Structure 1
Amino acid sequence: MANLGNSPLRTKADLERFETEMSLAERLPEQSILDVFIASAARDPDATAMTMLMTGAPDEHPRRVSYGDTLGMVRRAANLFHDLGGPAPGVAFMLPTLIETHVTLWGAETAGYAVPINFLLQTESIAELLKASGAKILVALGPHPGSDIWEKALDLRAMMPELTLVRVAPPGTAEQPDVVDFGSALMTQPADHLTFGAPRGGDDIAAYFHTGGTTGVPKLVAHTHRSQLVATFGGAAMCGYTPSDVLTATFPLFHVAGTIVAGLSGFMAGIELVIMSPTGLRNPAITEAFWRIVADHKVTLVAGVPTALGAVLQTPVGEHDICAVRAGLTGAALLPPAVSQRFTEVTGATLFEILGMTEASGLISIDPPGGEGASGSVGWPLPYTHVDVRRQIADGELGAVCDVGEIGVIAIRGDHLSPGYRDPSHNSGVFIDCTLNSGDLGYKDEQGRLYIAGRSKDLIIRSGHNIDPTMIENALASHSAVALAAAVGMPDAYAGELPMCIVQLHEGQQINETDLQAHAERMIDERPAWPKKIEIIDEIPLTTVGKIYKPGLRCIAAKLTMMRVIHGDLGLPEAEIEVADGGVRGLRVTVTLAADQETAASKVRAALAAYLFETKVEVV
């Protein structure tokens, strides 16, 4: 059983002591994902592993599953997948967050490897992922009036007849030809042992998670049992999880945050996960009832992406007793300072940031909830791993380690790193001599804490959803009137960033933004990637070698947002707005007001606090 230590990790000195007291091998004897569930069931088989809320209604009777029952279901699922797919089958799944989703994921990793799929993608994109992964089995949510998952699954099987289709549906759902019913098939399998021998473990592939855009060949990131276990252990230790903790499980299980730090790390420590409906905080009823649920289930750890937490923090706590909350955990996107401050005002606790990445099996560093918290910091690296901030030299290569406070590229080493992409051609420039080049910019303070300072890569991060700008650019560039298209993140108070595309037309061509928007929506199958704004300009700025100069375009996007907020929403047309590239958060915004507008300055400062860039308000 993993040894997570006897006291919370609060400081860098605590981490150093933790690492010197025992080796990683001594602290982490588990060799497979199944070992995590075996150990937790041995510790307390009757303890609740998962509490499933379907609606969050006050009179709902939640479904609760113990650690002993969870272990049995994982074994049953592994046995089923082996029977259906043979040795080490690839098992893809399109499921909302359910107890069955956890059973599918961990059972698939025990028998073969899992391929979690974002079911919001278009069918053609999912088909590419399935083909690239080599999955033999597809587990999908059965017919449901609020979802098109099952319709997509049937279309996928028509496109790929070799797929074995497994349906997760309520008992009594009418049978369908050539479809395996997950619930009934599970019960035909033994729960106390594996029928095929030893579980997968060690350096065996446990899963392929998709990342990046969905155009061209999909990028599938490999996780091994070892890499997931090291990340899982680090998450449990750094978060200070104990069996008395109750965590709000709001991340989807096709995302590494839901899989590792808000999933397997919790199971390793024996905590209770409260699954807040199949769609989590995208369910308005759950958002409205959030604080009542937190009180009713004596939640100790509130977790979610910044945008979702920002929404629930607008809901009054009322008379609900939430004194059990000891901390908040957030990640997947940068945390706006205003959300952090509001969390403390509402709960009396601190919201701690986590840095994760699919290529690092979900986790890189954590600002430990046992500590005091450092505003804007994503804390220290996981135990027994290393994170350096390195200078970027010619051709994007990594140079020497930066000085304290110096911005550079975040580079990671450790056993939690992925062995690479399923297609090795994608490894170039990312996996370099046992080091992961994250593509993120950051710096460290004198205590060794890590801070994020923007991205050297151009991903647009909308509410934790990574959007490849290339798919937007390619879509708009396919229009005959468009000469150049450049997609950038437009600052947004709620989502952090929204996709915006700046377009240069061919000489003599005329078209309006509305028609370009319609064209983009026809061409882009990933709805979150639809541009929220398209701006036509005379000439897109280029570098001396002819590349689009995106820092300048980000400044344009930020200025347009600020003009809307300050000139429009706040009614200050005389305010001067300057936007410059750089700073610890990638952009600097300066607003200058006249001397008689001191009162208005406070409103401007409050409005800008919701954004992720550096801000300065001057009254002259």
Structure 2
Amino acid sequence: MVNFQGGTIRTRDDLERFESEMTLDERLPERSILDVFKASAALYPTSTAITMLMTGAQDERPRQLNYDQLLGMIHSAANVFSTLGGPAPGVAYMLPSLIETYATLWGAETAGYAVPINFLLQTESIAELIKASEAKILVALGPHPQLDIWERALELRKQIPGLILIRVSPPGTPAEEGIIDLGTALAEQPDDHLIFGEPRGGSDVAAYFHTGGTTGVPKLVAHTHRSQLVSAFGGAALCGYTSEDVMTATLPLFHVAGTIVAGLSAFMTGVELVVMSPSGLRNPAIVEGFWRLVAQHKVTLVGGVPTALGAVLQVPVGNNDISALRTGLTGAALLPPAVGARFKEVTGCHLHEILGMTESSGLVSIDPLSSVGSIGSVGWALPYTQVDILRLNEDGSLGAPCATDEIGVIVIQGDHITPGYRDPKHNEGVIEAGRLISGDLGYKDAQGQIYVAGRSKDLIIRSGHNIDPTMIENAMATHPSVALAAAVGMPDAYAGELPVCFVELLPDADLCVEDLHQYAQSMIDERPAWPKLIQIVDAIPLTSVGKIFKPSLRCEISKQKVLDLLQNELEIADARVEAVAGGPRGMRVTVTISKDHRASLSKLETTLAEFLFEARVQIG
């Protein structure tokens, strides 16, 4: 069984001692994902593994599953998939967060491999993902009054010959010809053993997660059983999870954060997950009742992306007793300082940041949850892994390790790194000689803690959703009147960034911004990637070799954003704003206000703290 002995990890010395006392293999003898659930069922058979809230209503009686029952469901699901799909089948799923989703994910990995799908993507993109992964089975939510998942699943079956369709629906839902009901199929299989022999494990592929833009050939990242186990073990160790913990589960199970640090890591240690409705914090009722539910279920760990946590922090705690809460954790996007400060103010607890990547099987580093917490840091690398900050040379190659506080490229090594993408050509420049070149810029302080300072890949991260700007640019460039397009992230207090697009038109083109918005929406599959703002400019800035120079565009849109905020929200019309690229947070914005607005200084500083850039306010 997994061995976490060695004391709580709070400091770098604790981490080094933890690594020196035992080898990784001694601490982590499990070979397969199923081994984790077997061990947890042996240790905590009657302890609650999952509490499933459907509505969050005050009088709701949630569905609960203990660890012994969860293991039984995983056995049954694996047997279903093996029976239907043969040896090592690929099992794709389009499901919100349900108990059946957990059983599907871990059952698929036990029998073959899982292909988690973001059901908010366009049908065409999902079809490409399923084809590229060669999944034989699709598990999808049945007919639903608000979600069109089932209708799209039926369309996918038409597009992909031989695709086996399994429906997840409430008991009593009328049968459909040619459709397999998951509940019925589970009941027909044994839940105390596997009928097909040994489970998948070791270097076997456990899952393919999609990442980046999904236009063209999908980028599918391979996870092995070993990579997920090492990542989950590191997450559990640095988070200091125990079987006494109760954790909010608000992240979707098509995302590595929801499946690893808020999933497998928790299950390794007997944590109770409170699934806050199928749609998590996208459910307004859950947001409104969040603190009541935290109190009701005696939650000890609150987790979520910064934007979602920012929303629940606007809801008063009121008379709800949240004294059981010991800390919070967040990731998927950089944490605005104001959200961290507000969390401390509301709960009395620190909000710890996590750095993760799909290519690292979910996790890179964690600000240890048992420590006092570090402002702005994503903590230390997982145990038994290595994170280096390397200099970025002028030719784009990587150089020597950076000095303390020197910004460079974050590079990761360890058994949790993916063996590669499904399509090997995507490995170039990302997976090299067993190391992961993250594309993130960062630095280490004197204690070795990691800080993220920006992204060398120019990704736009909107509420934890990675948007490849090339996808937007390529779509816009197909318009017959567009000469050049450049997409960048515009700072946003809620989402972190929103996609905007600068467009240079061909000479004599007669086109308005509204026409461009309509064109973008017709050409870009991912709704979150639709540009929030499109600006027609005379010329897009280029480097000496003809590449688009995006730092100046980011600075320009940031300057516009702050000027708009000053004039329309704070009624300061005569301020000067300067935005420059660089610094520890990737951009520095300096606002100069006149003496007449001295009284607005504090409010302005508070407002600018909501953004991810480094802000300075001065009077002059």
TM (norm. structure 1) is: 0.99
In 1: Cα distance, 2:23 partner to 2:396 partner = 34
In the alignment, which residue of structure 1 is the partner of 2:603?
603
In the alignment, which residue of structure 1 is the partner of 2:286?
286
* 1:151-170 matched pairs, under 5 angstroms: 151-170=151-170
In the alignment, which residue of structure 2 is the partner of 1:196?
196
What letter is aligned with 1:325?
A: L
For residue 395 of structure 1, report the CA deviation from its aligned partner: 3.9
In the alignment, which residue of structure 2 is the partner of 1:561?
561
Q: Could you tell me which runs of 5 or more consecutive residues in structure 1 were left unpaired when the two chains were aligned.
A: none
In 2: Cα distance, 1:396 partner to 1:4 partner = 40
What letter is aligned with 1:323?
A: S
- Secondary structure of the 1:409 match is strand
For residue 599 of structure 1, report the CA deviation from its aligned partner: 1.0
Query: Does the 8 Å contact 2:572/2:597 carry over to 1?
Result: no
In the alignment, which residue of structure 2 is the partner of 1:120?
120
For residue 396 of structure 1, report the CA deviation from its aligned partner: 2.5
In the alignment, which residue of structure 2 is the partner of 1:442?
442
For residue 567 of structure 1, report the CA deviation from its aligned partner: 1.7
Query: Does the 8 Å contact 1:142/1:150 carry over to 2?
Result: yes
In the alignment, which residue of structure 1 is the partner of 2:305?
305
In the alignment, which residue of structure 1 is the partner of 2:507?
507
Query: Does the 8 Å contact 2:493/2:610 carry over to 1?
Result: yes
* Offset from partner CA, 1:501-529 (integer Å, 9 cap, x none): 01111111121111110110111111111
For residue 563 of structure 1, report the CA deviation from its aligned partner: 1.3
What letter is aligned with 1:556?
A: E
In 2: Cα distance, 1:512 partner to 1:52 partner = 49
In 2: Cα distance, 1:518 partner to 1:138 partner = 33
What letter is aligned with 2:370?
A: G
In the alignment, which residue of structure 1 is the partner of 2:211?
211
What letter is aligned with 1:370?
A: S
* 1:524-535 matched pairs, under 5 angstroms: 524-535=524-535
In the alignment, which residue of structure 2 is the partner of 1:517?
517
Query: Does the 8 Å contact 2:504/2:537 carry over to 1?
Result: yes
In 2: Cα distance, 1:228 partner to 1:163 partner = 27
* Offset from partner CA, 1:181-200 (integer Å, 9 cap, x none): 00000011001110000000
* 1:39-438 matched pairs, under 5 angstroms: 39-438=39-438
Say whether residues 1:485 and 2:485 are aligned partners. Answer: yes
TM (norm. structure 2) is: 0.99
* Offset from partner CA, 1:388-439 (integer Å, 9 cap, x none): 0001125422211000000000000000000000000000110111110000
- Secondary structure of the 2:332 match is coil
For residue 596 of structure 1, report the CA deviation from its aligned partner: 2.9
Say whether residues 1:21 and 2:21 are aligned partners. Answer: yes
In 1: Cα distance, 2:592 partner to 2:425 partner = 49
In 2: Cα distance, 1:615 partner to 1:26 partner = 47
In 2: Cα distance, 1:454 partner to 1:279 partner = 30
What letter is aligned with 1:427?
A: N
Aligned residues: 620
- Secondary structure of the 2:344 match is helix
For residue 560 of structure 1, report the CA deviation from its aligned partner: 1.4
- Secondary structure of the 1:510 match is coil
Query: Does the 8 Å contact 1:5/1:237 carry over to 2?
Result: no
In the alignment, which residue of structure 2 is the partner of 1:538?
538
Query: Does the 8 Å contact 2:6/2:18 carry over to 1?
Result: no
Query: Does the 8 Å contact 1:137/1:163 carry over to 2?
Result: yes
In the alignment, which residue of structure 1 is the partner of 2:38?
38
Query: Does the 8 Å contact 1:397/1:429 carry over to 2?
Result: no
- Secondary structure of the 1:596 match is helix
In the alignment, which residue of structure 1 is the partner of 2:12?
12
- Secondary structure of the 1:412 match is strand
For residue 601 of structure 1, report the CA deviation from its aligned partner: 1.4
For residue 286 of structure 1, report the CA deviation from its aligned partner: 0.1
* Offset from partner CA, 1:292-345 (integer Å, 9 cap, x none): 000000000000000000000000000000011100000000000000000000
Of all paired residues, the percent bearing the same amino acid is 67
Query: Does the 8 Å contact 2:288/2:312 carry over to 1?
Result: yes
In 1: Cα distance, 2:424 partner to 2:569 partner = 49
* 1:554-593 matched pairs, under 5 angstroms: 554-593=554-593
- Secondary structure of the 1:555 match is helix
Q: Name which of structure 1's ranges 459-468 and 596-605 shifts more when overlaid on structure 2.
A: 596-605
In 2: Cα distance, 1:593 partner to 1:166 partner = 61
Query: Does the 8 Å contact 1:243/1:269 carry over to 2?
Result: yes
Query: Does the 8 Å contact 1:114/1:208 carry over to 2?
Result: yes
In 1: Cα distance, 2:370 partner to 2:72 partner = 33
In 2: Cα distance, 1:419 partner to 1:434 partner = 7
In 1: Cα distance, 2:515 partner to 2:341 partner = 41
In 1: Cα distance, 2:117 partner to 2:345 partner = 37
What letter is aligned with 1:364?
A: V
In 1: Cα distance, 2:528 partner to 2:428 partner = 28
Query: Does the 8 Å contact 1:91/1:136 carry over to 2?
Result: yes
In the alignment, which residue of structure 2 is the partner of 1:547?
547
Deviation above 6 Å: which 4+ runs of structure 1? none
For residue 287 of structure 1, report the CA deviation from its aligned partner: 0.1
In 1: Cα distance, 2:570 partner to 2:506 partner = 37
What letter is aligned with 1:436?
A: L
- Secondary structure of the 2:232 match is helix
- Secondary structure of the 1:377 match is coil
- Secondary structure of the 1:4 match is coil
* Offset from partner CA, 1:515-550 (integer Å, 9 cap, x none): 110110111111111110001111100000001001
For residue 6 of structure 1, report the CA deviation from its aligned partner: 4.9
Q: Name which of structure 1's ranges 558-567 and 246-255 shifts more when overlaid on structure 2.
A: 558-567
Q: Name which of structure 1's ranges 67-76 and 558-567 shifts more when overlaid on structure 2.
A: 558-567
In 2: Cα distance, 1:600 partner to 1:289 partner = 34
In 2: Cα distance, 1:19 partner to 1:332 partner = 27
- Secondary structure of the 2:595 match is coil
* Offset from partner CA, 1:476-520 (integer Å, 9 cap, x none): 111111111000000000000000001111111121111110110
Query: Does the 8 Å contact 2:443/2:451 carry over to 1?
Result: yes
In 2: Cα distance, 1:397 partner to 1:219 partner = 23
- Secondary structure of the 2:596 match is coil
In 1: Cα distance, 2:235 partner to 2:392 partner = 29
What letter is aligned with 2:5?
A: G
What letter is aligned with 2:440?
A: D
Give the superposed CA RMSD. 0.7
In 2: Cα distance, 1:95 partner to 1:474 partner = 30
In 1: Cα distance, 2:322 partner to 2:444 partner = 34
- Secondary structure of the 1:167 match is strand
In 1: Cα distance, 2:175 partner to 2:74 partner = 24
What letter is aligned with 2:50?
A: M
- Secondary structure of the 2:289 match is helix
Q: Name which of structure 1's ranges 3-12 and 86-95 shifts more when overlaid on structure 2.
A: 3-12
* Offset from partner CA, 1:230-261 (integer Å, 9 cap, x none): 00000000000000000000000000000000
